[in-house]
Amino acid sequence: MKMLYHATSVIGHRILHIAEDEEYGIPLVVETGALPDGEDFAVFWNGAWREGRCYVSFGNALTFVTYGDAERIPLNLDAGMIEIRVPIYMLTTERLLDLAREYAHELGYTTIRERHFISAYTSIAGGELAEVAVYVEQQTSPVNILIHLSDWGDICLRTDTEIKHTMPPFDESDSGE
């Protein structure tokens, strides 16, 4: 698996909202269910959009720290939802195919014959996935590469052959009975 942080450019912005989750009492981005802690976005403060990063502290209090002047803005969820502006990220068809080829090279495959999409998506926005088949020399089946673009602009690449989760098999003798 490979992570690329903030590896794509912003093509626009969308408005989302942060509110306290009624069931768990934690702040969440309403539209995505994501935690705002450590995420970059903008808040409307004193008549202007201010860009920065959000931090959750003790008691689920939100503090927004602006870029440049490091002004600390407390975000009060008691007053209701907070409106935020989040960048929109997109990966084009050409960029997805290039990412798949580059990742296959990094995994040690030298000669790539062709690439094509397995998924229905040939370009993706934040929160979406695409899957690309990369055909390499000396192999009859392709290396399938899954590409995920997060809502925050991070790209995750992994192959179908990489181990996603490893757990040892359950052994009844370890249960203590």
Q: What is the mean pLDDT of residues 44-51?
A: 93
SS3 88: strand
Closest by Cα among 141, 134, 140 to 106: 134
Alpha helices (H) in the chain, listed in sequence order: 93-106
Query: Running DSSP on this structure, what letter comes out for residue 163?
Result: -
Domain locations along the chain? 11-88, 90-159
Q: What is the pLDDT of residue 111?
A: 80
Question: Are residues 89 and 10 in contact, defined by beta-carbon separation less than 8 angstroms?
Answer: yes
152-172 in b/e form (b: 16+ CB < 10 A) is: bbbbebbbeeeeeeeeeeeee
Q: What is the mean pLDDT of residues 53-79?
A: 88
Percent of the chain beyond pLDDT 70? 92
pLDDT interval class at 167 (50, 70, 90): very low
Q: What is the pLDDT of residues 77-120, one digit of tens each?
A: 887 899 999 989 999 999 999 999 999 999 999 888 899 999 99
Q: Taking the model in full, what pTM does it have?
A: 0.72
Q: What does DSSP say about strands 10-20 and 40-45: parallel, antiparallel, or unpaired?
A: unpaired
Question: Are residues 152 and 36 in contact, defined by beta-carbon separation less than 8 angstroms?
Answer: no
